[in-house]
Structure 1
Amino acid sequence: MGVNRVILLGRVGADPEIQYFEGNSRARARFRFATTEHYRDKQGNRQEQTEWHTVVFWGSICRVIEQHVRKGQQLYIEGRIRYRQWVDEQQQKHYATEIAGDTFHFVGGSPRPGGVEGANPSAGVQGGMPEGSQGGMQLNEADGSYVLPNGEAFPF
C-alpha cells in the first residue's frame, strides 16, 4: 500500500489549455502552476523560491476550468504526481512530471489584474461541479464567488 498525494497552493501561470477528445466526450485541461516559498537567508534577507508545475485535469471538471480559471488566479489543488515517458519520431526519449488534479478550490479574489487581489469567499470544485451545485449554486460574475440558491454566501 502507498500514498501518492500532492497539495499545492499557488497561482495559475497561463490560461488553461482545454482539449476535447472522442467527439468532445472527453476533456483535458492543462496549465502551468507556480508555488512560491519565502524564506530568509543567513544574512536575514528575504528570499523566494518559485517552483513551476504542470497540472492536468480530466473529465467534466474541465468545463468549470475552461469557464472560470484564468492566469494569475490563486488556487488550492489536490492531486497525484504522475511521471510519463515517451519516444518521439527521432527516437529521442522524453520525460514529463505532471500533477494529475483531483479537486481544486478558488482562493482569494479574482485573477490579479495589475497585481491587485480581491477578497471573495473560496469555492471548491470536485469531479467537475462546484460543491453544493445540486442545489443550483450560481457564479457571481462580478467577483468570481459562488452564491447558494437561497442567496446566502459561503460560511468561510
Structure 2
Amino acid sequence: MLSNTGINKVILLGTAKGPFRETTDRGQDFLCFNLVTTEYIKKGYEQTEHHEYHKIRVPEKLIAQDSLHLAEGQSLFIEGKIQTASYYDEQRVKRYSLEVVANRIDILSTIDINVLK
C-alpha cells in the first residue's frame, strides 16, 4: 500500500566551484558552493557537452562532524534533498531558487594546489 508521503532525494556527482560560508537570518551557518555536472548530448553526429550548475548548501554540523575540507576543483559525490528558497531582488520582486541541502558528501579526488600555480 502506498503512503501519502513523497520522496525528496538527490544524488549528484560533479566538480566543486567556489566554496564560501553563509549565515542565514536565523543564525544557521552553511558552507555553500556550486557543483558542476557534465553530460554529453548527441546533436546530429556530434557529442556536445552540457554543464549544469547546482547550488549546494552543507550544514555546519555536517562539516564539523566529518572534518570536511572542500576546495575548488574536487570531484564530489553528494546526497541530499531539494529545497526552495525565496528572496526579493532589487526591484522588490519575489524570486525563488532551488538548492540542494547535502546530508552526505564524499570527496572522490583531491587537488594538488601546486599543480594549479
TM category (shorter chain) comes to 0.7 to 0.9
CA distance in 2, matches of 1:27, 1:84: 15
Which of 6, 15, 24 pairs up with 2:10? 6
SS in 2 for 1:13: strand
Partner of 1:17: 20
**Which structure has the greater CA radius of gyration?**
1
How many residues matched?
A: 108
Which of 35, 38, 54 pairs up with 2:37? 35
1:111 maps to amino acid: I
Trace 1:59-70 onto structure 2 (pairs within 5 A). 59-63=60-64, 64-65=67-68, 68-70=69-71
Partner of 1:47: 48
CA distance in 1, matches of 2:35, 2:83: 15
Partner of 1:110: 110
The Cα RMSD (Å) is: 2.5
Contact 1:8/1:76, CA 8 A, preserved across alignment: yes
* Structure with a larger share of its residues in strand: 2
Trace 1:130-145 onto structure 2 (pairs within 5 A). none
5+ residue gaps, structure 2, are none
CA distance in 1, matches of 2:22, 2:100: 17
Partner of 2:87: 86
Contact 2:62/2:103, CA 8 A, preserved across alignment: no
5+ residue gaps, structure 1, are 116-156
SS in 1 for 2:50: strand
2:82 maps to amino acid: I
For residues 26-64 of structure 1, give each alpha carbon's deviation from its aligned partner in whole angstroms, at most 9, with x where no partner exists: 531110110001233221x22111100100011322343
Greater length-normalized contact order (CA 8 Å, ≥ 6 residues apart): 2
Contact 1:30/1:56, CA 8 A, preserved across alignment: yes
Q: Identify if the C-alpha distance between structure 1 residues 41 and 61 changes in structure 2 by more than 3 Å, giving closer, same or farther.
A: same
TM-score, normalising length: structure 2: 0.77
